[in-house]
């Protein structure tokens, strides 16, 4: 004969099992995402050093010296 009575303890156990299953799924998904993101990722330090070696002293000066940027900086609540 099947017992049709479930105590609140049983519900707590079921809730815990559901939580553990959800956490396991999330962990598996997280691991898959991290693996996917890390595949083919270049070495950031190496890439930074290569970019720094190509840097020119005047890079970006056209923007920093532009009237448009100066106006934007001086204007309250403006969008660039």
**Domain edges within the chain:** 8-52
pLDDT in the model for residue 74:
92
Main-chain phi, psi angles of 9, to 5 degrees: -60, -40
Q: CB within 8 A of 53, min separation 6: which ones?
A: none
Q: Are 80 and 72 in contact (CB under 8 A)?
A: yes
Whether the predicted model's global pTM rises above the 0.85 cut: no
pLDDT in the model for residue 5:
57
Q: Digits of tens for pLDDT over the chain (80 positions)?
A: 455 555 666 668 888 888 888 888 888 888 888 888 878 777 888 889 999 999 888 989 999 999 999 999 999 988 76
pLDDT in the model for residue 1:
47
């Amino acid at each position: 004969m099947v017992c049709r009575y479930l105590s609140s303890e049983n519900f707590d156990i079921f809730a815990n099992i559901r939580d553990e299953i959800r956490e396991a799924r999330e962990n598996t998904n997280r691991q898959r995402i991290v693996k996917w993101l890390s595949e083919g990722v270049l070495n950031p330090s190496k890439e930074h050093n290569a970019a720094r070696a190509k840097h020119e002293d005047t890079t970006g000066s056209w923007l920093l010296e532009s009237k448009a940027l100066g106006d934007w900086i001086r204007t309250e609540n403006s969008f660039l």
